[in-house]
Structure 1
Amino acid sequence: MTTAESYLKPEVIRQISRLDLRAQFVVKGFLQGLHASPYHGFSVEFSEHRRYEQGDDPKDIDWLVYAKTDRYYIKKFEAETNITGYLAMDLSRSMAYTYRQEMTKFDYAISLAAALCYLMVHQQDPVGLVTFDTKIRASLPPKSKRKQLGDVLSLLANLKPTGETDIAHSLSQLAAMLKHRSVVMIFSDLLADPDEVMRAIYQLRHRNHDVILFHVLDEAEVTFPFDGMVELEDPETKERMKVDASNYRKDYQKEIAAFRDKYRQDCFQAGVDYVELDTSMQFDKALTEYLISRQSRF
C-alpha cells in the first residue's frame, strides 16, 4: 500500500532542501521594497517615514521624499508576511494513467507536491492544499507548522483520481476562494480546452497570484510508443477508438507538441511559469532544475 512517506524519500529531501525556497519563489512584485529586517518573507507594507539617523542603511533613503523636502527620510516598515502557497491537485481519472512507468501521473504529481510542501514548511512559509475534479473537493488551509507536512501528505496519499474533470471551473472556484496574494502551484495533465483553462488562470493572475503550472503527462502520451492496430480509450468518457498506431504516430506527436506549445505560449503571455513534465523524468531532478532556472531569472 502507498504511504505518505513514499512520496518524499530521504535522499530527495536532502537534494531539495539544499534549495532556498525564497530564492526560487521570488517574483518582481515581492522584491519591490524588500529591506533587511528581523522578519522573514517578502511582502512589505509601507507605513510611514522617519528621519535618517547615523547608522541607518543609505539604501533605505526615500529619494522621492528627499527631492521634495531636501531632507533625508527612511522608509519605515511594518511586519513582513511570509509567502503563502497553495498546492492544487487534479483528481481526474485520467491522472491515474500509466503505460509502463512505475508511477502514474497522479503519483508523480504527488511527489512534486510533497517536495514543494516540504520546502515551504522547512522555510516556515504557510502552505495549503486543494484537490479538484469537476469542482474543488477538499482543502487544507495554509499552515507553516511541521505538522502540516504530515497532514498534506496523508491526505494526498489517500486520494484516488476517479472523477471526470472541469479544470477551468475548479480554478475559477479557487480564484474566488483565495483572499490574499499567494503562489498557486497547479498539478494536472491539462487534458481540457487550453483556452478555457487559461481564462481561469487569468482570473488568478488578475488577482495578483503567482501561478506555476506543472503539466504532467505520461511518457506514452508524449512519445506514443504503440505499434499496429490498437484500441484507445478515453479514461473519463470511456469512449473507444481503433487506430493504426504506426501510421498515426507522426500526426499524434505533432498534435501533442502543438498542445503543449499552446500552453507554453499562453502561459508566457500571462506571466505564468509553465513546467513541462512527463513520467519518464526523475521528478526530483526535474523539480530541482526548474527551481534553479526560476532563481536565475530574478
Structure 2
Amino acid sequence: MSALLSPASLQQIKRLDLRARMVVRGFLQGLHSSPAQGFSVQFSEHRRYNRGDDPKLIDWLVYAKTDKYYTKRYEAETNLTGYLVMDLSSSMGFTESQTMTKFEYSTCLAASLTYLMNMQQDPVGLITFDEKMRARLPARSRRGHLSDVMAQLSTLKPEGNTDLPKCITQVAAMLKQHSLVMLFSDLLSDPEEVLSSLARLRHGGHDVILFHVLDAAEVDFPYEGPVQFEDAETGETISVDATGFRSEYLQQLDEFRDAFRSGCANLQIDYVPLDTSMPFDKALTEYLIQRQSRF
C-alpha cells in the first residue's frame, strides 16, 4: 500500500482529482487487507443495507473493512463538518527532494481528504491564507462541491509571506459551527504564538489536526560542505558549513517539532509530522481516527 501511496508514484499524474482518487482507493484497499488499523468502526451507528434503502447512505469505509453494506443510522447526527486550511506562503513551494514541493504534497493530501469526506457525505470547506485570509469555500457535501474544492486547490500557488498566528485566530473567529479543522503548513513561525492561536480554535469547540509538512531535505539535511541558503519569504541568505552544522540543525529541528508536539498534546490537538517522501496513508489514518473519536 505504501508504495502505491508514495509521492514519487503519483508524480506522473498531473490532475489533482486523479491523484486524490488513486490515493483514497489505495488507502481503502489497504484498510480491507489489514486487520488492525488503530481505530474501530462503530457499528452502533450503522445498520445492514436493505433493498429500498438510499444507496447514497452506504458507508464505504465500513464496506472496505467488512465486504458488507451498511448504512448510517443517524446521518444528520454523524456527519462531520471539516475545513481544509491551507498555508499559501512561498516557503511551502520549497523542494530539493525531486518529488513534490511541500505545497504540492499538502494539496494532494487535502484533495484526498476531500474525496474521502465526500464519500462519507461529510461537508468539507476550504480556507486559504498567507499574510491574511485569501479565499473561503463554505462546507458542503453535495456531489458538485467536490469538483469545486478540487478546482480551487488546483489553482492555488504558494507565494508571499505568512502570518500564521493571525490567520488561525481569524479562522477561529469565522467558524461558528463545531468543525474539524485540518491545517496544512510548514509552521515556520514562532511555536508559542502559533499554539496560542490554536488554543483559540480549541476554546471555540473545534477539533484540530495539524499536518506539519516539511521537505524531505529539511528533515534529513543531506547537504555537505559550504552551502548558501535563502529564506523563501524574505530573500535573506546565509552561508554555512553544512557538514559541521548538520548535527546542530537536526537537534534544533527535533526541538522545533517537540515544541509543537507537546503543545498540541496539551491542547488535545492531533499533531502529524510529515515530510514529502512519506506515503499518504499515515495522514489519512489520522483523519479517520479523529473522525471516529467524534462520535
Please list, as runs of the form range in 1=range in 2, the aligned pairs for 1:180-195 lying within 5 A after superposition. 180-195=177-192
In structure 2, the residue matched to 1:56 is none
> Larger Rg: 1 or 2?
1
The 1-side partners of 2:174 and 2:293 are apart by: 30
**Residue number among 99, 104, 119 corresponding to 2:101 in the alignment:** 104
- Indicate yes or no: 2:232 matched with 1:235: yes
The 2-side partners of 1:227 and 1:35 are apart by: 55
- Indicate yes or no: 2:168 matched with 1:156: no
In structure 1, the residue matched to 2:176 is 179
Counterpart amino acid of residue 132 in structure 2: K
**What secondary structure is seen at the aligned counterpart in 1 of 2:228?**
strand
**Residue number among 208, 211, 233 corresponding to 2:208 in the alignment:** 211
Number of residue pairs aligned between Structure 1 and Structure 2? 252
Q: Which runs of 5+ in 2 are unaligned?
A: 1-12, 48-52, 58-73
In structure 2, the residue matched to 1:132 is 129
In structure 1, the residue matched to 2:60 is none
In structure 2, the residue matched to 1:93 is 90
**Shift, 1:24, TM fit:** 9.3
The 2-side partners of 1:36 and 1:295 are apart by: 15
**Shift, 1:5, TM fit:** 2.6
**What secondary structure is seen at the aligned counterpart in 2 of 1:80?**
helix
The 2-side partners of 1:295 and 1:176 are apart by: 23
The 1-side partners of 2:88 and 2:287 are apart by: 25
Counterparts in 2 of 1:217 and 1:208: CA distance versus 1, 3 Å: same
TM-align CA RMSD: 3.0
Report sequence identity in percent: 48
Q: Which runs of 5+ in 1 are unaligned?
A: 41-76
**What secondary structure is seen at the aligned counterpart in 1 of 2:138?**
strand
**Shift, 1:239, TM fit:** 0.4
The 1-side partners of 2:195 and 2:85 are apart by: 15
- Indicate yes or no: 2:130 matched with 1:118: no
In structure 2, the residue matched to 1:197 is 194
- Indicate yes or no: 2:282 matched with 1:286: yes
| TM-score of the pair, normalised by structure 2 | 0.77
Provide runs of 4+ in structure 1 moved above 4 Å: 17-20, 23-26, 34-38, 291-298
In structure 2, the residue matched to 1:11 is 22
The 2-side partners of 1:36 and 1:112 are apart by: 28
Counterpart contact for 2:39–2:289, Cα < 8 Å: no
**What secondary structure is seen at the aligned counterpart in 2 of 1:98?**
coil
Counterpart amino acid of residue 16 in structure 1: F
In structure 1, the residue matched to 2:140 is 143
